[in-house]
Structure 1
């Protein structure tokens, strides 16, 4: 298997399986290298602890312009993959570059700690976090995007962290996090421009749209190694 398909940190113990899965390795073993090399996006639902499910979106290796999707769910034996759709409507917007997993140095647990430290400095507190991992459209560098939620499940912060260096690339807190800012209409031109920049940065991580599913035999055939 090509080194570029491996995450930097391998599963070393039962405890480490609670972190994000070794996605490229699992997808390669289940569906082949042609699919794992085309992984574009990872997503997890919001959780108070480490995610126990990841959604993986990848380029369809056999149908140009289409995507395939799989779920990785944590069970007693580790991460179990399951086909979960294929076609052109899985994402509202599609990342332009595949994730370079050999550049991913920080796992979900690592970036959560960075998010907690950043939130403290901003005098904010979050309870759950939803994770996304994608490549920067310009540089190809892998980046984590975390939506941070309060006790009611409302988004109170959004942060983008380099998966390679741990640097905080972008952060939004309070009303800015959900794309609203009541003070913006009455602000200066510069303030309004700054708010629009924040909104644009947040919208850049809105990938998921209403997804039509094509499942069952078709999906299994799609991933055939023949």
Structure 2
């Protein structure tokens, strides 16, 4: 059976903490290369560790302009894929490029460690993270977008990390600290300044850039609900 073959491949060469690029193998074995080569987006619900559930969105190889979705759940036998819908309205916005899984050098577990390190520098604590993986529109490089949540489930930060280099591309914290320059320390702009207004624009742009989800139940539109209480 296809599923048995998938489990054998995963158990032979992948651990739970190193399962991101192998998602393409799972989709390939279950649905074919045409689907796996068109994977546009991975999403996970909030998790305290490495995700055990993923929603996988891909271009429908038989119906141009439409998408297919699979749900992956990790269990005793490995990753189990299940078809979870198809059609043109699975996402409110669609990432422009497929994910180049062969370019992923920093996986979800690595992205979490980077987020933890930057949270310490920003003097912020988070308990869980919601993950997304998509390709940069300009370069095609895979990038992680992590919403970082406190005990109550509120976002206390958001960080974008290159899955290829591990560089922090953008970070924003609910204490006002932000940086849009890789490697630069986070710092608060002066209240009422042009810098503060520019920072607000960056925050809004960062949030909107990662709002893909339509009806999956893995909603990301609530990112920054503490940062943008008055943003309509």
What's the TM-score, normalizing by structure 2?
0.79
Q: 1:150 matched to which residue of 2?
A: 150
CA RMSD of aligned residues (A): 2.3
CA distance in structure 1 between the partners assigned to 2:123 and 2:142 by the alignment = 27
Distance apart, 1:189 and its partner CA: 3.2
Q: 1:95 matched to which residue of 2?
A: 95
Higher relative contact order (CA 8 A, sep 6+): 1
Distance apart, 1:110 and its partner CA: 0.7
Distance 1:16 1:128, change over 3 A: same
| Structure-to-structure mapping, 1:39-188, within 5 angstroms | 39-174=39-174, 187-188=192-193
Distance 1:39 1:127, change over 3 A: same
Distance 1:79 1:136, change over 3 A: same
Q: Give 5+ residue unaligned stretches, structure 1.
A: 1-9, 178-183, 212-226
4+ runs deviating over 4 angstroms: 10-15
CA distance in structure 1 between the partners assigned to 2:134 and 2:118 by the alignment = 21
Distance apart, 1:11 and its partner CA: 5.2
Q: 1:193 matched to which residue of 2?
A: 198
Distance apart, 1:193 and its partner CA: 2.1
CA distance in structure 1 between the partners assigned to 2:155 and 2:141 by the alignment = 26
Distance 1:121 1:210, change over 3 A: same
CA distance in structure 1 between the partners assigned to 2:12 and 2:118 by the alignment = 29
- Does 2:207 align with 1:202? yes
CA distance in structure 2 between the partners assigned to 1:175 and 1:92 by the alignment = 30
CA distance in structure 1 between the partners assigned to 2:24 and 2:120 by the alignment = 33
Q: Give 5+ residue unaligned stretches, structure 2.
A: 1-8, 178-188, 217-232
Aligned to 1:23, the other structure's residue is in SS state helix
Q: Is contact 2:68-2:87 (8 Å) kept? A: yes
Distance apart, 1:191 and its partner CA: 1.8
Q: 1:20 matched to which residue of 2?
A: 19
Distance apart, 1:190 and its partner CA: 3.4
CA distance in structure 1 between the partners assigned to 2:11 and 2:79 by the alignment = 14
Distance apart, 1:14 and its partner CA: 8.9
Aligned to 2:116, the other structure's residue is in SS state helix
